Amino acid sequence: MRTLWRSTAILAVFSIGLIALRPRQVAIAAPQAPVPAKPASTPSADSSLAIPSTTAAINASAPMSQRVVHYEIDAKYDASEHMVDATEILTYHNLTGQAVDHFPFHLYQNAFQPNSTWVREAKIQGSRDIGYEKWDPKEFGSEEIKSIEVVGQGDATANLQYITPDDSNKDDKTVVDLQLSKPIPIGAFVQFKIAFQTKFPETQARSGWKRDFLLGGQWFPKVGVWWNGAWNCHQYHATTEFFADFGVYDVKLTVPQYEVIGASGIQVSSVNNADATKTVTYHGDDIHDFAWTVSPRYKVKESTYQAQMGPVQLRFLMQPAHWNQVERHEQITRETLDHFEKWYGPYPYKTLTVVDPEPDSAAGGMEYPTFITGDSSWLLPNGLHFIELVVEHEFGHQYWYGMVATNEFEDAWLDEGINSYTEVKVMDDILGKDISILNIAGIHFGEREEQRFSYIRVADRDPMAQKAYDYYNFNSYGGTTYGKTASVLLTLEGIVGQETMAKAMHTYFVKYRFTHPTKEDFLKTIEEVSGKDLRWYFNQAIYGSQVVDYEVLNANSFPVNWYEDKDKEDRNKKDKDDAVYQSYVSVHRKGDFIMPMDVEITFDNGEKVREHWDGQSRWTRFSYQKKAKVVSAEIDPDHTIHIDRDNFNNSLIAEPKSKPTNKLSTYWLFITQWLGQTMAWWAV
């Protein structure tokens, strides 16, 4: 479903009003960890039901989240068919504050069929993966509930009905709704017994198989989230990710014995079966999803990281051809953990599995609780930091998604964008500011530049604050949610100060971990910590699509006595040295984003003058009378504004200098000459 820009703008304005009016969500009120898993006086439809208060998978003595779900899955994987047959027992705790008579479930794997909303949107808007263009039916994905029983209410399979809450695509089967015969009372538990079959597609959207590898993500029927007084269970869109409640996962995976397996949570047991399979059991606490992977060829490295709350078992599942890169994976994982623990808060889980997925698969660069996939190649020089970039980013999601579990359907910038911002901070600190992506042979490229470029390509398309599936296209979604958010928050640092911003990020994490905060929770935290009213900035940068573009229009000087005899002036050097110049510097606001800024004017006697401009008018002019001529003028001399669309026009040199052009031209000349020689070599 695509919304036109104008509709989007109207929607954004309305959403500002709605946000201001709506009641605070239930999750916000959740106390900080640890919290009791179950209220003592909870009424229950079946008094024997409960969500376990286990802590085996976390370094804490009590649950850290308000646990809503308990999934017990027993799955058997057919490696030849890339298929799972499973039973799922879902225990749900009704903390909605009202009786609930229907439950929507995500069936994400149904997105990978030709008529799904995911594929339709991908064809219109573009997508990260375009493998669906070449699909044949055996490569489709599917997820089918064979039967569902509501404990105490009997078989309810006939009550299942596919719904499309986001569009009118009747062929989309990514959400199914279950109508109960009796509503579940407030505070009660309900248990669903589900038999389902999932067929994975050839890797698509970081899930599925490639050769003999499998990444099992979004593979089981997952209940929606009761949020803001209603079920929040969106269809799977080409640009969206996920949203789920915290709880406990107990998952048994039966796979061929030759498979090397990794999964979310801790491994509880592994038992070899008589039929050449093995059943590996995992347990996860205070997580909201469960992913797993198998490949017969993984090489495994395990080590321990001493985190603030206790030891974390690091497990690296590497492709054999990438084994020489395992140290790079481990080093960046450890350094990232160091930074996140120091800057934002402790990592509470006992495990972290880092998967180096199958080459050429669409499985690289994905986050699941305590489980991430990197993206590598056997031919990656040390100066090219793609491994570090991906592992850092996906680990960051353990905080911004894993623990601070925002709604990825509706506020993608809260996880991807904030994570991209912290990625810039962490990568800059670990690898260096302008070299965090590339540093080879004097050529360098930094993470903050990369984020800015992804934004400025789509600068005037979409605001950050809109549903992930309402962006103009995939590039706009990516450029805005990742690049714009990172650049907007880096610019915010310049407004509130780096230390204040760091404190605000720490506060936000500690306050909202294991909850589902909204964008206003984040923005208000920054305002509270900084003590500043930042609405002027948020309204333009987050709720609006205004574009920053300031330019130095001109910078010139002329002698105040210009009308006098020039020859006479030239004759006497002393007179010339004493000449007084009138200098003008004009600055122009080209864009529609208004923000104050500094302008630095440099004179040829070395003097620098800083001016402050509120940026309200379209242009302003600074004038000086000095015994010096202006050499250059520069907007934002401290380079704190990262959302300016054009960095070249932020400064102006009075006397042009051609060295940069000459250097580039030398390179281009070399390439052109070499090209001519090569052509002549083979053709004649």
Partner 1 sequence: MANLLSSGFTKVAQNKRYLFWFWVLNLTLAEFGTAAFRRGTHAILDRSLYADGLVKSFDLGVLIELLSKPEFGTLKSMTYPSLYFGFVFFLATALFLPGIFTGYASTYRLPREEFFRACGRNLWRFIRIMIIAGVIMGVLAALLFAANDAIAKKAEESTNEKLPFELQMIGLAVIFLIMATLRIWFDLAEVDTVLNDQRAVRKSIAAALRHTFRNLVRLLASYVVVTVIAGIVLLAGLWIWMKFIAPENVLGAFVVAQITLFLLLIPRFWQRGIAVLYWQDRMLVPFGQSAIMEPSPVPVSAPVDQPAAEAPPLATTPPIEP
In the complex, which residues of this chain contact partner 1 (CB under 8 A)?
Answer: 211-212, 297, 319-322, 359-360, 378-379, 434, 438, 441-446, 449-450, 452-453, 456-457, 632, 634, 646-653, 656-677, 679-684
Pairwise CA distance, residues 56 & 281, whole Å: 13
**Whole-number minimum distance, CB 420 to partner 1, in Å?**
16
Centroid of chain to Cα 89: 31
For residues 449 and 470, which CB has a smaller minimum distance to partner 1 in the complex? 449
For residues 212 and 527, which CB has a smaller minimum distance to partner 1 in the complex? 212
For residues 563 and 648, which CB has a smaller minimum distance to partner 1 in the complex? 648
**Whole-number minimum distance, CB 653 to partner 1, in Å?**
5
**Whole-number minimum distance, CB 315 to partner 1, in Å?**
21
**Whole-number minimum distance, CB 676 to partner 1, in Å?**
3
Pairwise CA distance, residues 60 & 34, whole Å: 8
**Whole-number minimum distance, CB 649 to partner 1, in Å?**
7
For residues 607 and 646, which CB has a smaller minimum distance to partner 1 in the complex? 646
Task: Identify the bridge partners of residue 313 per DSSP, sorted by sequence position.
Answer: 304, 351
**Whole-number minimum distance, CB 358 to partner 1, in Å?**
8
For residues 20 and 443, which CB has a smaller minimum distance to partner 1 in the complex? 443
User: Between helices 326-343 and 386-396, what is the axis angle to 10°?
Assistant: 40
3-state SS assignment for residue 247: strand
**Whole-number minimum distance, CB 433 to partner 1, in Å?**
11
Side-chain half-sphere exposure of 104, counting CA atoms within 13 A: 21
Centroid of chain to Cα 190: 33
Centroid of chain to Cα 209: 24
β strands within 432-591, DSSP E: 438-440, 443-445, 550-559, 581-589
**Whole-number minimum distance, CB 326 to partner 1, in Å?**
15
**Whole-number minimum distance, CB 424 to partner 1, in Å?**
13
Residues 6 or more apart in contact with residue 561 via CB below 8 angstroms: 569, 579, 580
For residues 255 and 352, which CB has a smaller minimum distance to partner 1 in the complex? 255
The first and second tokens of residue 341, run together, are 């623990």
**Whole-number minimum distance, CB 635 to partner 1, in Å?**
10
For residues 101 and 133, which CB has a smaller minimum distance to partner 1 in the complex? 133
For residues 73 and 587, which CB has a smaller minimum distance to partner 1 in the complex? 587
**Whole-number minimum distance, CB 384 to partner 1, in Å?**
12
Instruction: Confirm if 620 and 581 have CB atoms less than 8 A apart.
Output: no
Cα angle at 622 between 620 and 628, to 5 degrees? 155
Nearest to 321 by CA among 299, 293, 294: 299
Centroid of chain to Cα 10: 25
Helices (H) and strands (E) in the chain, counts: 15, 32
> How many residues are given for the chain?
684
**Whole-number minimum distance, CB 233 to partner 1, in Å?**
38
Pairwise CA distance, residues 313 & 319, whole Å: 20
Query: Which letter does DSSP use for residue 560 in this model?
Result: T
For residues 21 and 683, which CB has a smaller minimum distance to partner 1 in the complex? 683
For residues 409 and 482, which CB has a smaller minimum distance to partner 1 in the complex? 482
Residues 6 or more apart in contact with residue 108 via CB below 8 angstroms: 143, 174, 207, 218, 219, 222, 236, 242
Pairwise CA distance, residues 220 & 204, whole Å: 16
3-state SS assignment for residue 372: strand
The first and second tokens of residue 30, run together, are 């959740």
Pairwise CA distance, residues 101 & 321, whole Å: 52
Could you give the dihedral angle defined by the CA atoms of residues 327, 332, 334 and 338, in that order, rounded to the nearest 10 degrees? 160
Task: Identify the bridge partners of residue 253 per DSSP, sorted by sequence position.
Answer: 75, 280
For residues 11 and 321, which CB has a smaller minimum distance to partner 1 in the complex? 321
How buried is residue 80: exposed, middle or buried, by Cβ count under 10 Å (0-12/13-18/19+)? exposed
For residues 90 and 652, which CB has a smaller minimum distance to partner 1 in the complex? 652
For residues 535 and 663, which CB has a smaller minimum distance to partner 1 in the complex? 663
**Whole-number minimum distance, CB 673 to partner 1, in Å?**
4
